[in-house]
Amino acid sequence: MPRNQVSLAASNESAHSHSRTPVAILVAAAIGACLNPLNSTMIAVALPALSAEFAASRSSVTLTVVTGYLVATLVSQVPAGSIADRIGHLRAIGIGRILFLAGALAGTLAPSLWVVVVGRLLMALGGSLIIPTAMALVRVAVPEERRARAFGTLGAALGAAAAIGPAIGAWMSSHFGWRSLFVINVPMVLASYAVQWLAPGGIPVTGPRRTPAAFDWAGSALIGATLILLTFATRASVPVAWWLAVGGLAAGVLLIWHERRVSSPVLRVALFRERGFVAGSGVIAVQNLSMYSLLLFVPFLFGSSNGTDPQLGLAIIAMTATMAATSPLGGWLADRFGPSVVVIGGGVAGLLGVAGLMQLPPTSGAAAIASRLLLVGLGIGLSTGPSQAVALKAVPAVHSGVGSATLSMLRYLGAVVGTAVIGYAVGSDADADVRHRIAMIIFAAAFALSAALGAIFPRDAPPAAAQA
């Protein structure tokens, strides 16, 4: 990269640090970024209505509308981050919002199930541009001393959106029909634009910061093949699962070989040589594994034979609400005491919460379950902001889009692995108790691993509060 461009990037980042616009950037980015997790959970309650209206089986509706959305999001994350680095983060988030809006309108007016699917895929592609680009904007526009708090707030917004999605979906669909679940995205997109337009002086445009080489289409295709094969390997039965896994691993090896030889790779393998990025993104991935798994698994563990106790839903909300409420606190504590000690504490809290759940009998009440899930939510909330800040600090500003997208991809991979564990745990009534315990041990081990990763965070200068 030429020296004058390096100086320009540095001066831009410095200018952003002293701008009055970081709060506006964070609010606009958070509103846009919430669209993806909200729509990943909100649509679940509308699946029976979609199945009835379009005379399709529930399994096919689930596969095309839900699984297709998640896989498209997973596959397009890293290529979207590379595109954002090329065209500029603000322009990329704008395109992402346009795609999301187009998908929402398609779903609203859909005359057939396949138009709904196309709308959902457009929303997935738009969300893939929005979330990593939102994190990249925070990375380059918020001063370093406030970055952990900013990421904590962004993480709280994302977690809250996923948590309230089913409740919003149930209320909206029961009062206004399933099409309202697409309509609701329109005011959110417009609100994100409005915050950007009303920001003092406008939100500064970031990038493009370098003259890009040809886009890495081969790398994008290999990422897609790797992730799709590995994802469906977790959902297939033997021997098909083994063949899919082998194919996915082979595509992954070919991907790494290719990315090390192109001048402008879509996946920067060099990021995985940075201790901060590996440790920070590792915390996000393994804690997401436990979080999404517990959301699905707790009803299996403690639901009665006649159905799930309605109060159990409140116990699960206790986890997600605590996670959302404490995410800004985790960033604030990291700014004062350093990210390592906060993430270690978060990992230990999550570990104690899962260990407590393991000791409860299946007939336990919602209050006892909620008290353990509160610890899990506390652990995730404390860890999210500091871990994202550490991971993205290790990424050069010119590659913030790719770095953020890679982090987001690893977050989704953690959730995919977690669903595979759940599939094993509930896949057979034979030895169900043993399978359940093995799954819980895996979730506890994930939190223990997150604490260990927090312990190897790079040791930078002491936080400002410690020096005062």
- pLDDT tens, position by position, 232-289: 787 777 788 889 889 989 998 998 998 888 877 878 888 888 899 999 999 999 998 8
Phi-psi region of 307 (alpha: psi -120 to 50; beta: other; left: phi over 0): left
- pLDDT tens, position by position, 90-149: 788 888 889 999 999 999 999 999 999 999 999 989 888 887 777 777 777 777 777 767
Model pTM score: 0.73
- pLDDT tens, position by position, 42-80: 776 677 788 888 888 766 777 778 777 877 887 887 888
- pLDDT tens, position by position, 273-322: 889 999 999 999 999 888 878 877 777 777 644 344 556 667 777 887 78
